[in-house]
Structure 1
């Protein structure tokens, strides 16, 4: 069968496409410009924007399954309106095209940020699929609002007959991180000793390969209309530094800054990001994420989909080994690809 992947040039997309090809699937991708993650892969490429109904129609024509991964991730609000446009209008565009094309199933990759993680009483609780979604109100972060609104837009089309399931990954880490992602940048900064401090916070991190396995299972065995949390392990940032050191031999920063102190440095991080022409690693939004004490229960995915997660240190080891093989560690390489914790 022919499978469409939107957002195929992203971190999850790069892993999903490779897994689909290894299974013998015919893969079509809808991409805009950056295709580094797809170089050399035997895929059918359609150039276009998920927000464009014509591109969506061309991409979904003759397709049996759609994996909709395309998203605009932001920890700095939505100053240009792209977050809302891609994460809501783009979802609606692909869903409408999939319905018109008679697609058998659509798997939509949302996020744990669609859940209201900052509502009163969220601390020290387990969030599952029944947790309230983020209300579409300006008092909430733009990215979080967009992911919840995107789900609502999809459900409107599902109400007219589209078969779809929705998955919610947490903080994704792992190999084939061509971007690199924000977490990938953090691992590289730890290796290069360019990270000024660690942050006294924690979040749930999941291996991208476990997310891909969960999405494939959701396509094959998920119940139409259901949501599945594809999360991993709650890990303190301090422990990330310790685990990275055990693999690379590079000591992490000695300073572990409390959240309140890190917030004072947000303007400086913003200036540094502007100079480097990339979104800063720490913003008020990203620090809020590290400050939340909510934990995630992926038991539903485990029971319904057979979803499992690998140990967090294994993921970190594989991140560095992939960065090493991709030449992203520079001249100073890992001592051995057999390094284990």
Structure 2
């Protein structure tokens, strides 16, 4: 039976598709337009967006398992309503269609941002959820999970993966972290910021995601992380691999937070999305 992967042209999607093919699985990818991550793989392509119920229903024909990875990441609010449309309504559309199609299991790729990321507290799968004052992206990921649970209550078999920051190969678009690494390699990042984040290798994330298909419990969340890494450490590693010097300056976190509204406004005007 076929496996459907939404968001297959993204960073995690491209790696997941490769692993599924290595397992000998019959993979169909629901894609919009960018197919660089899937070039030469011989994957069956289904065109459409996750918010298009008809396209999703067609893509689910003959499918046994759905990996729902399609998402919109944004630190600029919800430009054009695309974040809410994809992260909430897209999940609802895919989950409803998957239940109606009788798929065996749906694996939903959410995010650690679906939890309240209090910087002084470690999180687990039972951690509090985002506050009303938290960024819209965080709230959208939580709302997407709620939409999924509505279908679980109606009989859908689904599990949820919550990855931390993802890094690793086959980052074609590239992702925000991919752009961070490129900026360092090209000497275009004047300063770092203090602090850090938990990062997971995309290959480890894929292994976790595949394991969730087999061993995950219905309705459960599974945090997928690696280790907490200071921004400077990961920047110096990237610079060393690229044969360049890492940025010498570091802005304190309080200054980055003060400047965030300015960068947000600039991004809304220009369409440029800040790295931090």
Normalising by the smaller structure, the TM-score range is over 0.9
C-alpha separation between the residues in 2 aligned to 1:269 and 1:89?
25
C-alpha separation between the residues in 1 aligned to 2:268 and 2:178?
16
Structure 1 residues 189, 58: closer, same or farther in 2, change over 3 A? same
C-alpha separation between the residues in 2 aligned to 1:261 and 1:130?
32
Specify the SS of the correspondent of 2:198: strand
Specify the SS of the correspondent of 2:219: coil
- How many Å apart are 1:271 and its aligned residue? 4.3
Aligned residues: 275
1:57, 1:97 within 8 Å by CA — same for their partners in 2?
Answer: yes
Q: CA RMSD in A?
A: 1.7
The partner residue of 2:194 within 197, 200, 206 is 200
- How many Å apart are 1:273 and its aligned residue? 8.9
1:270, 1:280 within 8 Å by CA — same for their partners in 2?
Answer: no
Structure 1 residues 46, 243: closer, same or farther in 2, change over 3 A? same
Within-5 A mapping of 1:234-245: 234-245=228-239
Specify the SS of the correspondent of 2:171: coil
C-alpha separation between the residues in 1 aligned to 2:268 and 2:143?
28
C-alpha separation between the residues in 2 aligned to 1:274 and 1:3?
40
- How many Å apart are 1:270 and its aligned residue? 6.1
C-alpha separation between the residues in 1 aligned to 2:189 and 2:246?
8
Specify the SS of the correspondent of 1:189: helix
C-alpha separation between the residues in 2 aligned to 1:256 and 1:206?
23
C-alpha separation between the residues in 2 aligned to 1:248 and 1:223?
42
Structure 1 residues 264, 149: closer, same or farther in 2, change over 3 A? closer
1:107 corresponds in structure 2 to 107
Deviation string 1:226-257 (CA, Å, 9 cap, x unpaired) is 11001111001111122223333311011011
1:50 corresponds in structure 2 to 50
C-alpha separation between the residues in 2 aligned to 1:7 and 1:250?
33
1:81 corresponds in structure 2 to 81
C-alpha separation between the residues in 1 aligned to 2:108 and 2:37?
20
- How many Å apart are 1:216 and its aligned residue? 0.2
Within-5 A mapping of 1:269-280: 271=266, 278-280=272-274
Deviation string 1:99-123 (CA, Å, 9 cap, x unpaired) is 01110000000000000113xxx51
1:62 corresponds in structure 2 to 62
1:191 corresponds in structure 2 to 185
| TM-score w.r.t. length of structure 2 | 0.95
- How many Å apart are 1:268 and its aligned residue? 5.7
Specify the SS of the correspondent of 1:225: coil
The partner residue of 1:176 within 170, 179, 187 is 170
Which structure 2 segments of 5+ residues have no match?
A: none
1:72 corresponds in structure 2 to 72
1:311 corresponds in structure 2 to none
The partner residue of 1:134 within 126, 130, 136 is 130
1:198, 1:257 within 8 Å by CA — same for their partners in 2?
Answer: yes
The partner residue of 1:214 within 208, 213, 217 is 208
Deviation string 1:180-231 (CA, Å, 9 cap, x unpaired) is 1110111111111110101101111111111100000000111111110011
Q: Does 1:36 align with 2:36?
A: yes
Specify the SS of the correspondent of 1:234: strand
